[in-house]
Structure 1
Amino acid sequence: MKLVLSHRSALEYWRSVGTLRLPRPKPTRARTPGGRIAGTEVLALCRAHALSIPLHLLVSKSERRFRTPDVVYHARDELLPQGSIAMIDDGLFVVSPDLAFLQKAANEGFVELVDAGYELCGTYTPSKTPSDRDFDQIPQTTPAKLSSYVEKAGTMRGVAQARRALRHVLPDSASPAETALSMLLTLPYQQGGCSLSYPQLNYRIDPGKHARKNVSQNYYRCDLFWDKANLAVEYDSNLCHTGAERIARDSKRRDELLELGVTVVTVTAGQLFNFQEFNKMARTVAKRLGERIQPRNDNFATRQLALRSILLAKLERPSLKPPVPSARSRILCASQAASFEQKGAEGSAEPPT
């Protein structure tokens, strides 16, 4: 019996490959769907591979059954494009990340699809309780591979939506927050973004032979980097720094990048979640890029809020209560938190999503 994990189950499996340290599925020449599964086997399969219920399977039309609380069958008889299926184990297969993206394109909105593209081409797995295992992973695919697969897919459902979304998908994002920041800055006005030029994510800067004498690192990674302006935008997930040591380290890093001709703009979680503070930061970035944020539609703010409600809902909101042990750190955090609260009172922080 051949089973082919599909749709949401396929995405869950590809995510678990990195976080659970599972062997990567092997490429296969298989191009046909699989069969159905006995109801008594669903729970065991889901437990064995960390999949949620209902299980999604790709089957031929002759094997299709009505949806049950435990299984959703997706029917197809036509041959799939090459590279559509990978083998997990004997008799168990999974659709490729490229086909999973195309399947998502047929059922999801534009923003959700671009977000999924960033994830599949990034080095992280989104999680409600993130741990070290969720980061520094091997990307499941690349924008170029996704585009190549979509072109081979012909008239399959979701092709037009996938092409449109892939124009805005960037590789190498290292976290959901970096993805959200990049999308908020670069998506077109129509989608609520600032329509800025595209950066390179997690760009590596190598000091030259002579410059290396004046810096302490062999290379630097910048979250978002625009080569044309030598501008880096760095995301700091902590509203309050964890002590004077880290403050000094971050300051030294910024100074050394400046020595290399790179200007650094730091974005805190507080700025990301505050509507007005984020827009101030975006205008600063635009000015340094020699660009302008000039939406021509009257309801741009409404579209911004709609985009933010989707992207930020999956991120942990900053806490004003600093979990730091040292007395000096507590004083610094209290000062920053008070400033944040005052700005929120004066400028109205974004309403909860």
Structure 2
Amino acid sequence: MDRLAGTSGFGGVYGAGIARPQRGSSIVIGYESALAFWRRSRVEDPALTRELLAQLYPDDMLATLDAEALAADTSLRPLELPNSPFERIHHAALALGLREPVDIVVGKDAARRRSPSARCHVWSGPVSDGLLVGVEPGVYICSPELIVAQLASELGLYKTISLAMELCGSYSLLVNGACEYGVPSSTSHSRISSVLRLSDSFRGIDVAKQAALYSIDGSASPRETVLAVMLSLPRRLGGWGCGKPLLNAEIMLSAAAARECSRSSLRADLLFDEADLDVEYQGREWHTKPEDRTSDEARQNALMMMGKSCLFISREQISDEARMDGIALLIRSRLGLRPYRRPLSTGMSLRRHQMMLDFGLA
């Protein structure tokens, strides 16, 4: 394959200069350690995040690669640790703010080594140059897309979808349990799908591919992610089968509607465009802030002037299966979808219960 970066359809971020690791001297960080790195980088240094993303395959190249081309563009084959790596791993952990042991990726069982500084993982999926970023001399971090693939077998379907949507969204969950908002996304639904399309041999691939299929770009908070997943997943997977909404889509307002809410546009948490329905998640603090309720009333009025409706959903509602049934029936009706033909089967009920557990709602 010709090793030239293409143009990116993702904000011009990707493909400015693909990193070329040196075989025999490179260390690859993946799994939880790589996820911790990207989460922290998105929050603490968005400019650096963009620079690092520029080392990855651009969108157009990634979409057209095949497995053969990907293999030809892999410098680290076989993927193994260099001699005396642990001092370098310890130094990289300090420089990058990572906890030890650091998750290191190797290509086969014989390449694993024991150390308090490192935890080696055998990874049989693709680790081509355009899926790695250089962060220290001879030290590389797996791309956000690879991380979703690597963690899928451990996380299971629902948590993997949540992880993908976090990385495709504008929030970041940190090690201390805090959540930072308004951060740059680090990947997209299409990029994750493209990477997974190129491999069929790693552990957890079925979960990863299913998670990629049902992930959605643009989530602005963990609860938006949960609500979107619950409503959009098909019933056979425990969801309510309403189809995918647009997340944080902008609704341009008419002059009259703009006057009503004192702004030229509104941003919808979940927009079911074909139903002209804006679904808004309300946190626990909503009822204690009169100004927020006044703003919500103006929002509803403005949307009604535009021929649209607004539906507010609270945490208490999404934790209550019966109340979610009613909300989903309303949305499906507005979308012109048929009522459910039969009750949930035992398998569906078990999957829904698992989903609620994984989302902390049960």
Give the TM-score of the pair, scaled to structure 2.
Answer: 0.76
Cα distance per residue 1:34-57 (max 9 Å; x no partner)? 626655565554343232333111
Q: Does 1:312 align with 2:360?
A: yes
Q: Does 1:143 align with 2:171?
A: no
Alpha-carbon contact 2:100-2:117 (below 8 Å) kept: yes
Q: Provide the secondary structure at the position in 2 that maps to 1:241.
A: helix
Per the TM alignment, residue 256 of structure 1 is displaced from its structure 2 partner at its CA by 1.1
Q: Which amino acid aligns with 2:31?
A: H
Alpha-carbon contact 1:64-1:74 (below 8 Å) kept: no
Alignment of 1:1-353 (within 5 A): 1-21=25-45, 23-24=48-49, 25=52, 26-27=54-55, 31-32=75-76, 33=79, 35=81, 38-39=85-86, 44-61=91-108, 64-68=111-115, 70-75=117-122, 80-127=127-174, 129-131=177-179, 134-153=180-199, 155-208=201-254, 212=258, 215-238=261-284, 240-291=286-337, 292-294=339-341, 296-299=343-346, 300-312=348-360, 353=362
- Cα pair distance change 1:158/1:87, threshold 3 Å: same
Alpha-carbon contact 1:194-1:293 (below 8 Å) kept: no
Shifted more, 173-182 versus 288-297: the winner is 288-297
Shifted more, 142-151 versus 221-230: the winner is 142-151
- Flag structure 1 segments of 5+ consecutive residues without an equivalent: 314-352
Alpha-carbon contact 1:122-1:173 (below 8 Å) kept: yes
Report the Cα distance in structure 1 between the residues aligned to 2:126 and 2:272, rounded to whole angstroms: 42
Alpha-carbon contact 1:120-1:142 (below 8 Å) kept: yes
Report the Cα distance in structure 2 between the residues aligned to 1:31 and 1:121, rounded to whole angstroms: 28
Q: Which amino acid aligns with 1:74?
A: H
Per the TM alignment, residue 258 of structure 1 is displaced from its structure 2 partner at its CA by 1.6
Per the TM alignment, residue 138 of structure 1 is displaced from its structure 2 partner at its CA by 1.4
Per the TM alignment, residue 273 of structure 1 is displaced from its structure 2 partner at its CA by 2.4
Amino-acid identity (%): 24
- Cα pair distance change 1:115/1:31, threshold 3 Å: farther
Per the TM alignment, residue 110 of structure 1 is displaced from its structure 2 partner at its CA by 1.8
Q: Provide the secondary structure at the position in 1 that maps to 2:218.
A: coil
Alpha-carbon contact 1:54-1:72 (below 8 Å) kept: yes
Shifted more, 262-271 versus 155-164: the winner is 155-164
Alpha-carbon contact 1:31-1:84 (below 8 Å) kept: no
Cα distance per residue 1:85-109 (max 9 Å; x no partner)? 1111222210111111221234442
Report the Cα distance in structure 2 between the residues aligned to 1:83 and 1:8, rounded to whole angstroms: 20
Cα distance per residue 1:159-188 (max 9 Å; x no partner)? 443322222111101111011101111112
Give the TM-score of the pair, scaled to structure 1.
Answer: 0.78
Q: Provide the secondary structure at the position in 2 that maps to 1:8.
A: helix
- Flag structure 2 segments of 5+ consecutive residues without an equivalent: 1-24, 57-72
Report the Cα distance in structure 2 between the residues aligned to 1:117 and 1:171, rounded to whole angstroms: 9
Shifted more, 34-43 versus 182-191: the winner is 34-43
Q: What's 1:339 paired with?
A: none
Report the Cα distance in structure 2 between the residues aligned to 1:284 and 1:141, rounded to whole angstroms: 33
Per the TM alignment, residue 310 of structure 1 is displaced from its structure 2 partner at its CA by 0.3
Q: Which amino acid aligns with 1:231?
A: L
Q: Provide the secondary structure at the position in 2 that maps to 1:170.
A: coil
- Cα pair distance change 1:217/1:148, threshold 3 Å: same
- Cα pair distance change 1:274/1:106, threshold 3 Å: closer
Q: Which amino acid aligns with 1:4?
A: V
Report the Cα distance in structure 1 between the residues aligned to 2:298 and 2:124, rounded to whole angstroms: 60
Report the Cα distance in structure 2 between the residues aligned to 1:294 and 1:165, rounded to whole angstroms: 26
> What's the RMSD between the two structures over aligned residues?
2.8
Cα distance per residue 1:245-300 (max 9 Å; x no partner)? 22212211221122112201101122222333333333332333333344554324
Report the Cα distance in structure 2 between the residues aligned to 1:146 and 1:130, rounded to whole angstroms: 25
